Amino acid sequence: MSFQLTILGTGSANPVLSRNPTAHHLMIEHDGYLIDCGEGTQIQLLKYKIKATRIKYIFITHLHGDHFFGLIGLLSTLNMHHRLEDLYIYGPAGLADIITIQLKYSDTRLNFKIHFEETRSNESYMLLENEHVKVTTIPLIHRVPCCGFLIEEKTKPRKIVKELLPADVTIEQIKQLKEGIDVLDDNGKVLYATKHYTTAAPQADSYAFCSDTLYHESIIDIVKGVKLLYHEATFLHELEERAAETFHTTAHQAGLIAQKAGVGKLLIGHFSSRYRDITPFWTEVQAIFPNAEVAEDGRVIDFRDF
- Which member of 66, 205, 212, 297 is catalytic? 66
Per the CB < 8 A criterion, the answer to whether 117 and 95 are in contact is no
Calculate the alpha carbon distances from 152 to 28, 108, 222 in Å.
Answer: 11, 35, 12
Report the candidate in 49, 11, 9 with the shortest Cα–Cα distance to residue 27.
Answer: 49
Report the candidate in 160, 118, 161, 154 with the shortest Cα–Cα distance to residue 134.
Answer: 154
SS3 state at 129: strand
Calculate the alpha carbon distances from 283 to 98, 252, 290 in Å.
Answer: 40, 10, 9
How far is residue 69's CA from residue 287's CA, in Å, rounded to a whole number? 35
Per the CB < 8 A criterion, the answer to whether 67 and 36 are in contact is yes
Length of the chain: 306
- The set of residues, in sequence order, having a beta carbon less than 8 Å from that of 32 and lying 6+ positions away, is 25, 26, 50, 51, 52, 54, 55, 56, 57
48's enclosing H/E stretch is none
Q: Among this protein's residues, is 277 annotated catalytic?
A: no
147's enclosing H/E stretch is strand 146-153
So which residues are the catalytic ones? 66
